[in-house]
Amino acid sequence: MSLSPAQKTTLRRLALAALILGHFGFFILAVGVVGLYRAGQLPPPPQPIAFPHPTHVLGLGLACNFCHETVEQARGAGVPPVEKCLTCHRQIARERPEVQKLLRYWDEQQPISWVRIHQLPEFIYFSHKRHVKAGVGCDSCHGPVAVMTEVRQVRTLNMGFCVGCHVKSGASRDCAICHQ
Ligand code: HEC
Ligand code: HEC
Ligand code: HEC
Ligand code: HEC
Ligand code: HEC
């Protein structure tokens, strides 16, 4: 089949229109997804390894700060290096597919690129240390992680959420503590 120049032009225009529509369609979808995600209404993002908190926290009784080592000392809680997992998985459950993935990261000396779930905008100052030292439980901001097979965000983490608790608990509401 051969096309006339006019047909070719039409086809090109159609292709262009599809591209543009596709482009904005994706944009609209992305904004919607981010919006929903921020509202904590979406399922958790897929992780490189299906790490189950319940098995480790409820089953083995590991403390949160066994893995999130800096939660009492720094702004960030920290996510454990592969090495920490290997203290047990050098021996335990080596045959399981998800643990095999873990061992592969170890063999290749690659860090695991866990997908970040909770993330404040750049311009916000937040520190775990202050909250944990003041006795604010992980659950208040993260929900019941111990029973989540897959971690997901369940609180909005917007300004109203932060300030709401600060009002209730008598903590500072000065704009400058969070907006530095
Ligand atoms: C054996 C190690 C281990 C223990 C113990 C552990 N975690 Fe985790 N945690 C991880 C790993 C690995 C990830 C990243 C993968 C994921 O999100 O599932 C993670 C992710 C998280 C996240 C999401 C981080 C983000 O990207 O926003 C939160 C919140 C969290 N853990 C809270 C807790 C709490 C609360 C406890 C105690 C009840 C706990 N964890 C105990 C290993 C652990
Ligand atoms: C204190 C020991 C210990 C540490 C540390 C540990 N695990 Fe585990 N893990 C276990 C045990 C025990 C099981 C349960 C095995 C079973 O079901 O028989 C398990 C189960 C798992 C499973 C589920 C296997 C399956 O298919 O049921 C995965 C995945 C896993 N661990 C990944 C990790 C990762 C990733 C880390 C590091 C962030 C880690 N583990 C740290 C002891 C540990
Ligand atoms: C007052 C609210 C609050 C409390 C309490 C809290 N977190 Fe967080 N957590 C956050 C926020 C907000 C973020 C995102 C921080 C950012 O983007 O800078 C976060 C991020 C994280 C992360 C992602 C990785 C990182 O390095 O920050 C982990 C893991 C985590 N929290 C674990 C915990 C654990 C474990 C506890 C309890 C010991 C805890 N959090 C208590 C609000 C809280
Ligand atoms: C569940 C209650 C609770 C929530 C939610 C909460 N906070 Fe706090 N926050 C506190 C308490 C209590 C203190 C006081 C700690 C102290 O006295 O050292 C505090 C202290 C702080 C401080 C240090 C204040 C100072 O005087 O230097 C900052 C910064 C802060 N919070 C930011 C945030 C941000 C940002 C969020 C939201 C992502 C948030 N907080 C959510 C309870 C909360
Ligand atoms: C306890 C922490 C906290 C305090 C105190 C606080 N904010 Fe915020 N603020 C946040 C967080 C977290 C965000 C980002 C999430 C959001 O947009 O809700 C934010 C977002 C904002 C934004 C939107 C910025 C943007 O570009 O999206 C404005 C404007 C703002 N705050 C003004 C203020 C003013 C004015 C005060 C003092 C009266 C104040 N904030 C006090 C935590 C705080």
- Decide: residue 171, CB within 10 A, 0-12 exposed, 13-18 middle, 19+ buried: middle
Tell me the CA–centroid distance for residue 136 and ligand 3, in Å.
11
Give the residue carrying structure tokens 């089953």.
59
Q: Is residue 19 part of a domain?
A: yes
* Beta carbons of 49 and 110 less than 8 angstroms apart: no
27 lines ligand 1 (CB under 6 A): no
| pLDDT score recorded for residue 43 | 74
pLDDT digits (tens, 9 = 90+) for 45-73: 899 999 999 999 999 999 999 999 999 99
Residues 70 and 77: their CA atoms lie apart, in Å, by 5
Q: Is residue 68 part of a domain?
A: no
**Number of compact structural domains in the chain:** 1
Q: Is residue 23 part of a domain?
A: yes
Q: Is residue 2 part of a domain?
A: yes
Q: Read off the pTM.
A: 0.89
* Nearest partner of 122 among 68, 36, 180, judged by Cα: 180
| pLDDT score recorded for residue 1 | 47
Length of the chain, in residues: 180
Residues 155 and 82: their CA atoms lie apart, in Å, by 28
Q: Is residue 81 part of a domain?
A: no
Q: Is residue 89 part of a domain?
A: no
Ligand 3: which atom is nearest the Cα of residue 137? 5
Q: Which two tokens stand for residue 165?
A: 């608790």
Q: Ligand 4: which residues within 6 Å by Cβ?
A: 120, 124-126, 130-131, 134, 136, 140-141, 157, 161-162, 165-166, 169, 171-172, 177-178
Whether 164 has a pLDDT exceeding 80, the answer reads yes
| pLDDT score recorded for residue 111 | 95
* Beta carbons of 82 and 106 less than 8 angstroms apart: yes
End-to-end CA gap in the chain: 66
Tell me the CA–centroid distance for residue 123 and ligand 5, in Å.
9
Question: In which domain, by residue range, is 9 found?
Answer: 1-38
Q: Is residue 6 part of a domain?
A: yes
Q: Is residue 13 part of a domain?
A: yes
